Amino acid sequence: MNRLPVAERREQLIEAALAVASRDGIDAATVRAVAAEAGVSLGVVHYCFQDKDELLRAMAHAITSANLERSLGELPAEAEDVESVIEGVIEALWAGIRDSRGPQLLSYELTTSSLRHTELNQVAIEQYRGQWAAAEQVLDLVERSAHVSWSVPRGVIARSIVAVVDGFSLAWLVDGDSEAARNGLQGFGRYLATIAVPASVEADATASIA
């Protein structure tokens, strides 16, 4: 077996765990199954991850990071109007979700499984904290790309984004209607554009209060 740095070995094991769980379900992602998928010994898995709880958290983080990376990859290099920026982000996000059905289904399995097992509750908590943080990061970059701010606190918008994306994604997993999901998400994007205000307006308002 090739010796890899721990960070690289962890990535290998996370990919193996995602492959097993996406293919066979979250309950199938045992330490033994992950080791077999990765072609390593059980000891290697235990060395890289303290327990299955830690491995599940890493899997949830990997799914969230992949969705975020796809979304941010479509942000324009130069400033555009906020409607166009948001539309591009949502198109990229939806394309990523649509093309990764297994991992998306797995993300919901991770949530429900951790809620059913008290020893895994932290997985769901960290999963959603990661998603809220990722949504805030997207909002921050939209602000900078379109030179806007928000008339609603960013944290509130971030939670709304995650809730809406979850809802349309889960409905799509059930009925397979990609067009309905895409249209619904873009409709929400148009709403987001209505609560964006030009950065210069926000700055002027702050200056007048001071």
pLDDT digits (tens, 9 = 90+) for 171-198: 999 999 999 999 999 999 999 999 999 9
Total of domains in the chain = 2
Q: Look up the CATH number of the domain holding residue 38.
A: 1.10.10
CA 45/CA 34 separation, integer angstroms: 8
Whether the CB-CB separation of 164 and 92 falls below 8 Å is answered with no
Judge if 128 and 199 occupy the same domain.
yes
Residue 54 placed within a domain: no
Q: Which amino acid is at 76?
A: P
Phi/psi-derived region of residue 39, left when phi > 0, alpha when psi is between -120 and 50, beta in every other case: left
CA 61/CA 65 separation, integer angstroms: 6
Is 58 a residue whose pLDDT tops 60? yes
Is 201 a residue whose pLDDT tops 80? no
Dihedral (CA of 64, 66, 71, 73) sign: positive
pLDDT at 208: 46
CA 28/CA 113 separation, integer angstroms: 12
Residue 64 placed within a domain: no
Judge if 103 and 149 occupy the same domain.
yes
pLDDT in tens, 113-167: 888 877 677 778 888 888 899 899 999 989 988 999 999 999 999 999 999 999 9
Judge if 35 and 113 occupy the same domain.
no
Query: Whose CA is closest to 68, among 97, 43, 33?
Result: 97
pLDDT at 44: 93
pLDDT in tens, 3-28: 778 889 999 999 999 999 888 888 88
Residue 63 placed within a domain: no
Residue 99 placed within a domain: yes
Residue 115 placed within a domain: yes
Judge if 170 and 106 occupy the same domain.
yes
Domain that holds residue 109: 69-209
Residue 19 is encoded by which pair of tokens? 């492959």
Give the contacts of 97 (CB within 8 A, at least 6 positions apart).
67, 104, 165, 169, 172
- Helix then strand then coil, % of the chain, to nearest 5: 80, 5, 15
Judge if 15 and 111 occupy the same domain.
no
Judge if 110 and 43 occupy the same domain.
no
Judge if 197 and 101 occupy the same domain.
yes
CA 98/CA 181 separation, integer angstroms: 10
Judge if 29 and 88 occupy the same domain.
no
Phi/psi-derived region of residue 198, left when phi > 0, alpha when psi is between -120 and 50, beta in every other case: beta
Residue 48 is encoded by which pair of tokens? 């890289």
CA 48/CA 119 separation, integer angstroms: 19
Average pLDDT over residues 87-109: 88
Judge if 39 and 75 occupy the same domain.
no
Judge if 77 and 35 occupy the same domain.
no
Whether the CB-CB separation of 50 and 113 falls below 8 Å is answered with no
Is 54 a residue whose pLDDT tops 90? no
Residue 56 placed within a domain: no
- CA terminus-to-terminus distance, the chain: 65
CA 140/CA 148 separation, integer angstroms: 9
Band of residue 210 on the pLDDT scale cut at 50, 70, 90: very low
Judge if 25 and 76 occupy the same domain.
no
Residue 85 placed within a domain: yes
Residue 113 placed within a domain: yes
